[in-house]
Amino acid sequence: MNVAFNCLLEEYKTPFGCVMENQPCSLTVKVPDYYAVSGVDVILTTDTAYGMQVSFELTDTQDGYQIYKTQFSLPRCGLYFYHFRCQGAQGPFQVYRCGETDTSINQGDLWQLTCYPRQFHTPKAYAGAVMYQIFPDRFFRSGSCDLTEKLQPYWVHENWDDTPHYLPNEHGEVLNNDFFGGNLRGIREKLPYLKRMHVDVIYLNPISMAFSNHRYDTADYMRPDPMLGTEEDFSALCADAHKLGMKVILDGVFSHTGSNSVYFDRNHIFGHGAVSDPNSPYRSWFDFQEYPNRYTSWWGIDTLPCVNEMDPAFLEHIITGENSVIAHWMSLGADGFRLDVADELPDDFIALFRQRLKELNPEALLLGEVWEDASNKISYGARRKYFSHGELDSVMNYPFRSAILSFLAQPDANRFRANIMSVVEHYPQEVLHCLMNSLSTHDTPRILTLLGDSFDGSKQEKANRFLSEDAKLWAVRRECAAAALQFTLPGMPCIYYGDEAGLEGFEDPFNRRCFPWGRELTSLQTAYESLSRIKGRYAALKRGHITFENPNDHVIHFIRTLNGQRIHTIVNGGSDPMTLPITGQLLFQSYINMEKRLLHLEPWGVAIILE
């Protein structure tokens, strides 16, 4: 018998997961009688010198255990780690976490407890919303735009179905200056399609003026790229989206600018950048080791000079000024921002950004790009305060993506549960329900390709490599299973444009092909449409608790529960069919045979059932 403590069960810890500052937290520890313990303490520590020690009270003996209980509250926000110290007959010993639910003596892991501000809240509209990510150049082209001020050189593909250019030029440089002409009017024209897909939130990759097609090399924060259109086009897009009940989120790139920009002006085009003008008002934004040729750049890429985010002039331009970048785009109709590479932005910058954003619109969303568990992330030697200090409403939830892909590659339902519940435990509940849950993004291979082709050849080989018909059928089956998990787990499922239409592609730029209008894979599109409708219709899928009832290692079965509404998601990852009774209304099915009141799930079959 081990010391019993399972932080995932209310029997041992309430509330589940995180706590607000000064919120009572109750713990119960069961110690076997034969340990002859005379006292138990919980030891809470932080990365700073601050910590707490709280004593337990012996309240009962039961089934060979001494039952110890305590209650405490944390007066300071922060990330805490805790373990237990027991006073035994032979002296004190420590109790640590062992795996997901067990304990071990004098060695093991610490439990984690996030304490966040009591006044922290996320915008209600985003809980369980359906998000749609658009790479603007590749979604849809409507009419033409005035390209007079488009940064040179660039070229536009004549064929919408071309493969994006990937080969280096004669200098060995990949310029990313090939365009397809997708624009803001094109997105606006396709809003009825997004509405049919039950989309609630549109997330746009960068739209500000830039040299490249990805536009992460900002040239002017205050204007749209000429290839995309005008401020009026953006305002019209937001206005029409709002009429249809959709929000529009922009991509904020604030750790660096482009070298070919108003601010840096290495090409001497704009006239008053930090390089072209030694007295430039933007000079203090950048870190020059040897002016003007040696400077700090993002990951050593000299076309992406890093900015000093806490420079007063930069802060005024981006955040605090009356017509700052935030204020400018919010006034045009934006509903929030995704912060690119949030790990590389100082906590103080993010806190100021949030403060101004919420002053402009308390219901605006602030989402950060973080690839790992954002609750305990350490970047550049510092523990981040995304949740413990209420900085971000949401993050890109790559841990859920990793859990789904891991299960699809090698089914292990218990490992899947542990990976999911780790995030559920570590994140504040309001954050959990508006996490951005993606299967693909502009930074990853397309989900259909990942599930159908493990090829690892050269970029040139990947450029024109597509799935065979048989491989595609199998990949589509598995993508339906992945999407069912994506849409029924806590958070905002985010469709990367074209995933629902069967777009394929390895890594950048092949994952950024144009949307295949008129050639969509309708079976997959219908599945996504159904999942989006279900997500929007049932409150349990938006804000409900999650529990697991996995029957074996190859089958995922979890339940979302809210106010008596219970929705089951079952995915068969085994190589053999499985049978289960129909215990309610079948909301969604994929690769299932029905016989009277029985469901037969084929391999990678899915059932979503309202109990």
The residues assigned a catalytic role are 340, 369
**Residue 93, burial from CB neighbour count under 10 angstroms (0-12, 13-18, 19+):** middle
Q: Are 100 and 425 in contact (CB under 8 A)?
A: no
Single out the residue of 324, 286, 328, 326 nearest to residue 307, CA to CA. 286
d(CA 165, CA 144): 21
d(CA 598, CA 611): 15
d(CA 214, CA 218): 10
Per DSSP, the three-state class of 472 is: helix
Q: How many CA atoms lie within 13 A of 606 on its CB side?
A: 24
Single out the residue of 527, 574, 582 nearest to residue 550, CA to CA. 574
**Residue 94, burial from CB neighbour count under 10 angstroms (0-12, 13-18, 19+):** middle
Q: Which helix H or strand E contains 195, and what residues bound it?
A: helix 191-196
Give the torsion sign (CA, 155, 160, 162, 167).
positive
Q: Are 98 and 104 in contact (CB under 8 A)?
A: yes
Q: How many CA atoms lie within 13 A of 103 on its CB side?
A: 24
Give the torsion sign (CA, 427, 433, 439, 444).
negative
Single out the residue of 281, 269, 333, 337 nearest to residue 312, CA to CA. 281
